[in-house]
Structure 1
């Protein structure tokens, strides 16, 4: 399995690193050579440190080091400006940043699941492709369904922490709704529609909510029929995030486990998940047939 990593502190830092990598390669420098030239100027760095910067693994990046690298690579004014603009949002150390109210309310829960970075990335993405195997996607859950689902997933949590995770989930939905240019492609395995979470009444309300959401211009929902049989999605749910080209050139795949969450951003890893999503998306019911299927399921749940 690919290496599992915590998400980078900033999408912008990841893109700044990629720009620096491209400039280095264009200039014909190895990491060792670039680090050596920086050391000659009295800067503390090495090839490993530069590699972490290029791969977005550093939460803060010394601006004097970046300036030296840009000079070394003979970067154009445009490249210099863009790299520095990417660094600007992350110039403050994460530990000193003013956390948003949601983090201040539920920081303990978010930190335990490595979920704070997910919220940052999700809010910046312009396209979210979400495959769910066993439940309705969190961004499309009703409050009651979410409460029962989270309780089932995390029976170890006290009720107040369940409340906290529900608050986070509903906050995510509001953030999605407020996005000016964002799309959600939700792909749901048909088994999720037949799994009673909470009660038949809770499920009926949830499916009615899902049907209403399917009419939203920025939301496309497709149901993958259980008759499809075995498929790549049986490995588990995932989210593929796409960002504006000016912010982040690569997609990120996010996977949540019982105890933490991890991200994948290497080209081969992302391509594998993208291919899997596309394959399943094409085998799923189209939006019109999905709505008909939901109506049938809702009718079956009516007393």
Structure 2
């Protein structure tokens, strides 16, 4: 199981930390030596604080500190300009204000590390989601979502089940009505064959998928059962891509029963991206996917 990491207060700050860590490593400096140098320049910091910056765990970063670090690491003009650009007001140096619904359930969502996921999802311009067992959350109907959440979290009281359902539907509306972005949903056929709730619930879910598949910016594909064994059997995941001015790298999220896990190391992102591409290329094309959904709707209507 990968290490669990809390996401940064903004994606921009995570990118700043990643780049500063790389520069420090190339300079051959330890965190302790870097902190000592900063203190000599009159900047209050220590190795622990610098580590939190590099790991994206700080909500704000002092501009003077970034400038001092770039000077210490002897970053060239181009690199310095790229990093300081992330500190501009339009990229945000603190957590963006969440919608009222998410603020209302913030304690519960942050406890699950799901609040950090939602912050990143809201900033992404491209989402690539592979699901093995259920329909992707961004495409779930209300009844289907309630049955899925109740089955996954039988330990939760009804009020928290309601909260998660409300959040899921809010995310779906944001995808449909918010700023344009690309969503690639790859659904294993086993997820569509698994009955969740009543036949009426499943029929409504399939009808929604069919309608969503014709929506600009949303590309839904089914990975057929005859694809056999593949990397997706390891479990579902989401790859997020951000505006270049906010974050230069993709990040990957996976989920456990109780929390969300963020992967941002280049090797992890590359592995998941390659896996998604291979699975995507083996999936039914959009027209055949809609035909597949039509057949399942007909089976439930008969």
Using structure 1 for the length normalisation, give the TM-score: 0.89
Provide the residue aligned with 1:5 in structure 2: 5
**Greater mean deviation of Cα atoms: 14-23 or 268-277:** 14-23
Q: Could you say which residue in structure 2 is the equivalent of 1:140? A: 139
By how many angstroms is 1:246 displaced?
1.2
Question: Which residue of structure 2 lines up, in the alignment, with residue 167 of structure 1?
Answer: 166
Distance in 2 between residues matched to 1:169 and 1:251, nearest whole Å: 23
Determine the C-alpha separation between the residues in 1 that align with 2:90 and 2:17. Answer: 9
Contact 2:138/2:172 (<8 A) preserved: yes
Query: 1:234: Cα distance to partner?
Result: 1.1
Q: Secondary structure at the match of 1:134?
A: coil
Q: 1:83 to 1:292 in 2, by over 3 A?
A: closer
Q: CA deviation at 1:86?
A: 6.6
C-alpha offsets along residues 31-64 of structure 1, whole Å, 9 cap, x if unaligned? 4553332121233334554343233232332343
Q: Which residue of 1 aligns with 2:29?
A: 30
Instruction: Name the residue aligned to 1:252.
Output: 251
Contact map agreement 1:109 1:165 (CA 8 A) in 2: no
Change over 3 Å in CA distance of 1:7–1:216 after alignment to 2: same
Cross-structure match for 1:265: 264
Q: String of CA shifts for 1:256-279, please: whole Å, max 9, x gaps.
A: 111111100000011111111111
Distance, in Å, in 1 between the alignment partners of 2:206 and 2:43 is 59
Write out per-residue CA displacement over residues 15-46 of structure 1, whole angstroms, 9 at most, x where no aligned residue.
222443466578x4624553332121233334
What pairs with 1:63-212 in structure 2 (closer than 5 Å)?
A: 63-72=63-72, 73=74, 76=77, 78-79=81-82, 81-85=84-88, 89-91=92-94, 100-212=99-211
Moved more, 105-114 or 205-214: 105-114
Match of 1:301 in 2: 300
Distance of 1:54 and 1:87 partners within structure 2: 21
| TM-fit CA distance, 1:158 | 2.0
- Identify the range of structure 1 (49-58 vs 231-240) with the bigger mean alpha-carbon deviation: 49-58
- Residue 56 of structure 1: aligned partner: 56
Cα distance in 2 for residues equivalent to 1:17 and 1:87:
18
Instruction: Tell me if the contact between 1:2 and 1:269 (Cα under 8 Å) persists in the aligned partners.
Output: no
Determine if the alignment matches structure 1 residue 224 to structure 2 residue 223: yes
- Comparing 46-55 and 197-206, the one that deviates more: 46-55
* TM-score (ref. length: structure 2): 0.89
Task: Say whether the 8 Å CA contact 2:86–2:245 is kept in structure 1.
Answer: no
Q: How many residues align?
A: 298
SS at structure 2 position matched to 1:279: helix
Q: 2: CA distance between counterparts of 1:119 and 1:296?
A: 34
- Distance (whole Å) between structure 2 residues aligned to residue 79 and residue 134 of structure 1: 41
Farther-moved stretch of structure 1 (17-26 vs 143-152): 17-26
The farther-off stretch of 164-173 and 32-41 is 32-41
**Where does the alignment leave 5 or more consecutive residues of structure 1 unmatched?**
none
